[in-house]
Structure 1
Amino acid sequence: MLRRHLAICSLAVLLAAPAHAQSSVTLYGIVDIGLTYTNSAQTAVVGGKPAGGSQFALTDAHATGLSGSRWGLRGTEDLGGGLSTIFVLESGFLANSGALAQGGAEFGRRAYVGLSNTLGKVTLGRQYDPLIDFVQPFAASGSWAGYMGAHPDDLDNLTNTNRINNSVKVNTAKFGGFSAGALYSFGGVAGNATQNQIWALGAGYTGGAFAFGAGYLNARDPNVSFYGNTPNKGTATANNIGSTGSATSPQSYPVYAGYASAKTLQIIGGGASYTLGGAVFSLAATNTRFDNLGSSSGPNPLHYSGDAIFTSLDFNVRYNVTPFFQVGTGIDYTHRNSVKGDDGAKYLQLDLGADYFLSKRTDLYLLTVLQRAMGTDSLGQPAVASIAGFSPSTTDKQIGVRLGIRHKF
């Protein structure tokens, strides 16, 4: 009898094993924390002028480092015939405090489910747009410089400041080195199919030493649909992009916070890279438009009208000194047109970085960013420097330095 029971149990295990092997769930994550310094950080706005001083802090990479801290679940199930179900649930958190990132959303980084086969995949949920997939890798921030290496205030979203809710996304597999993607986000407004909608396209190629990519995003009522998609934001009466500051709080995103009344946000970008020995030379360019200012999509205290158009050009180089040590340098120039008769704005930024890998999972890195602002920013003040992730400067110059440690699991 005992032998019979053992035989039945063994057969059950053998029959169950193939089914078990066809599906999997993986727990993964990153913890990235470090010491930061800036020579000038706002603490308040007093008498209409920014006030503050230098700052030392211990911060999570969500604000200033290479990879925002996160944990996630990634799963797949084989449905047969080459078709699989896939899902990702990814939660961002602040390693220095344990608090949820992305405005308190439980799975604020990504949350989607979909189907995948040899031709590509279709996914539904909270996701990255195609500019992230096809253009971000060529910017310094997407390659080696982290969030603080983004274009001023991450104005073109190449460093994932904002994700897309309620979206359907299609990505092809690579065919001859080429791939493409498209995304559509439903606005969800009864009687108006275009209000709050977002759509985006992208394509890229990788072959040998050369790679390139391009993408386009169009967001209607961006103050709500694009910038207001976390639990702590969302109404058209509030400025979901940034803040003008107060006697007890600093400004935020002064590069473009004044354009919350735009009816449409359009971002077009492209990039390319060439690998030569241990060096990778990359170029990325974006055009970001806040069109039809003065709409009801958001507040407009400065009574703007017309369009605010930013053009950014980013040239950077990454060099592998050894298999365990890499360095990088890059320069970024951003220009904005005149809005309401102002003199426009210009931002010049220099990025420097070094990364040493202690193992496949752990690395130590040092980042330095120097930025200078010129002209008039979106808040109608003499433009202040605003390195992504830091509190804006009190002046037209700012230096940010970070020494960090990152562990992947």
Structure 2
Amino acid sequence: MLYILLYGSSARAQSSVVLYGSIDEGITFNTNAQGSRTVTVGPVAVPDFYGVRGKEDLGDELSAVFALQNGFKSNTGQGTIAGDAFSQFAWVGLSSPRYGTLTLGRQLDLATDALRINSNGSVQYNFYLFHPANLDNLGITGDSISNSVKYTTPTIDGFSANGIYGFADSSTQPGRVYSADFVYSRGPFRASAVYSSWRNHVINLVSGLGDTHFLGESLANGALFTAQRQDIMGLSALYKATDKFQVHGVFTQVNLAAAANSVRMRTVELGADYSTNFANSLTMGGYVSWLGGTQYDEMGVGDVYSLSRRTIVYAQVTYQRTAGVGNAAMPLLAPANGSNQTAFRVGMHHFF
């Protein structure tokens, strides 16, 4: 991270700007991508992004704050969302340790913000371990809330809460959105509870479910799915039992409704990480997800080695098996033409 401090004419006035980012690259061998073995290159450990955060001291413990963050794909240089300069978030607001923080702009869904931090996909640096089609919004894939107002309470005894309301807009956000969470973080334990409610949400399910139709809508030729209703409820927790061992888990439920049909997805996820020494960690995690007539079972194991505080190298194996209507379909990969899919991955990640 690059810090820039700016001092104004007042002795008390001080501003800071932080430039930061993440870049991940590696090679994945996929045993079943629509029936054929394929090799792909691209970010998997952490979605690539770069951003700018700033803060200006206004006096009396009040500060002006802002943040801009854009996602990109390191293997092609393309933005995560074509045409968006800051696809993940872009907001500005006021912050006070006594009264909390109020921000306006494009902001992360709280399922992404509060549940993701305790998930296998985040803790174990493996995006393949996020849930089918990212319907519960844990992965950062562009499901941020535009035209939104967010309030964050002060942290009291480890507890804090957030609330977001996103206004409907015919061009950028067809339906309204609201999201709320409660978060606790103190010592070796952190936990969160989240509820998000979307209306008329356009979702890219093309490679996410391993099927050509969903709730009566065709997904052929890259067609997008419009959820008239998408309600997400989730719980997550992480406990660091010792200096070497930690466990974490996530539960989510998503209620989806289209023009003619509705469905519910439930996912239970568990993971554990063990540090063999100060630089190396072994990871194991998986989930079971029930969506309509399909059950998705997924398991991943990995080894993460820290070259420094900001740079890691890793090796992972992730396996998914389905039973029911849909084929196997890991996030980021082309779906299989059957019920099994395995991804072998080696890569390198750097925070800057």
Note whether the superposition's TM-score is higher than 0.5. yes
Find the aligned partners of 2:81 and 2:110 in 1 and give their Cα distance: 20
Shift in CA distance, 121/14, structure 1 to aligned 2, threshold 3 Å: closer
User: What secondary structure, in the 3-state scheme, does the structure 2 residue paired with 1:173 have?
Assistant: coil
Kept in 2, the 8 Å contact 1:32–1:95? The answer is: yes
Partner of 1:246: none
Partner of 1:148: 128
Question: Gaps (5+ residues) in structure 1?
Answer: 1-12, 43-51, 228-240, 244-250, 295-304, 338-343, 377-382
Matched, 1:58 2:18: no
Shift of 1:189: 5.3
Q: Please, which of 131, 140, 144 is the counterpart of residue 163 of structure 1?
A: 144
Matched, 1:386 2:329: yes
Q: Please, which of 326, 331, 343 is the counterpart of residue 400 of structure 1?
A: 343
Find the aligned partners of 1:218 and 1:14 in 2 and give their Cα distance: 42
Give CA-to-partner distance per residue, 1:113-133, whole Å, 9 cap, x none: 111110421111111122223
1:107-118 superposed matches below 5 A: 107-118=86-97
TM-score in terms of structure 2 length = 0.88
Please tell me the residue identity of whatever aligns with 2:164.
L
Shift of 1:256: 9.6
Question: Gaps (5+ residues) in structure 2?
Answer: 1-5, 216-224
Q: Please, which of 2, 22, 40 is the counterpart of residue 14 of structure 2?
A: 22
Aligned residues: 334
Q: Please, which of 312, 327, 333 is the counterpart of residue 288 of structure 2?
A: 333
CA RMSD of aligned residues (A): 2.3
Find the aligned partners of 1:408 and 1:195 in 2 and give their Cα distance: 35
1:15-164 superposed matches below 5 A: 16=9, 18=11, 22-42=14-34, 52-59=35-42, 61=43, 65-118=44-97, 119-161=99-141, 162-164=143-145
Find the aligned partners of 2:235 and 2:184 in 1 and give their Cα distance: 12
Whose strand proportion is higher, 1 or 2? 2
Partner of 2:296: 347
Shift in CA distance, 255/320, structure 1 to aligned 2, threshold 3 Å: farther
Shift of 1:146: 2.6
1:234-245 superposed matches below 5 A: 241-243=204-206
TM-score in terms of structure 1 length = 0.77
Give CA-to-partner distance per residue, 1:277-332, whole Å, 9 cap, x none: 121111210001112x32xxxxxxxxxx3321010000111222222111211120
Instruction: Specify the structure having the higher radius of gyration (Cα).
Output: 1
User: What secondary structure, in the 3-state scheme, does the structure 2 residue paired with 1:135 have?
Assistant: helix
Find the aligned partners of 1:75 and 1:385 in 2 and give their Cα distance: 43
Shift of 1:253: 4.1
Find the aligned partners of 1:316 and 1:398 in 2 and give their Cα distance: 20
Shift of 1:87: 0.8
Shift of 1:257: 6.5
Find the aligned partners of 2:209 and 2:165 in 1 and give their Cα distance: 26
Partner of 2:227: 262
Find the aligned partners of 1:255 and 1:155 in 2 and give their Cα distance: 15
Kept in 1, the 8 Å contact 2:266–2:289? The answer is: yes
Find the aligned partners of 1:24 and 1:15 in 2 and give their Cα distance: 11
Find the aligned partners of 1:365 and 1:178 in 2 and give their Cα distance: 34
Whose helix proportion is higher, 1 or 2? 1
Find the aligned partners of 2:56 and 2:91 in 1 and give their Cα distance: 15
Kept in 2, the 8 Å contact 1:145–1:367? The answer is: no
Find the aligned partners of 1:333 and 1:288 in 2 and give their Cα distance: 14
Matched, 1:289 2:285: no
Shift of 1:165: 1.2
Shift in CA distance, 36/15, structure 1 to aligned 2, threshold 3 Å: closer
Partner of 1:247: none
Please tell me the residue identity of whatever aligns with 2:262.
D
Partner of 1:4: none
Find the aligned partners of 1:14 and 1:402 in 2 and give their Cα distance: 46
Matched, 1:218 2:218: no
Kept in 2, the 8 Å contact 1:366–1:403? The answer is: yes
Give CA-to-partner distance per residue, 1:43-95, whole Å, 9 cap, x none: xxxxxxxxx40111221x1xxx1212222111111111111111111122221
Q: Which runs of 4 or more aligned residues in structure 1 lie more than 6 Å from their structure 2 counterparts after TM superposition?
A: none
User: What secondary structure, in the 3-state scheme, does the structure 2 residue paired with 1:136 have?
Assistant: helix
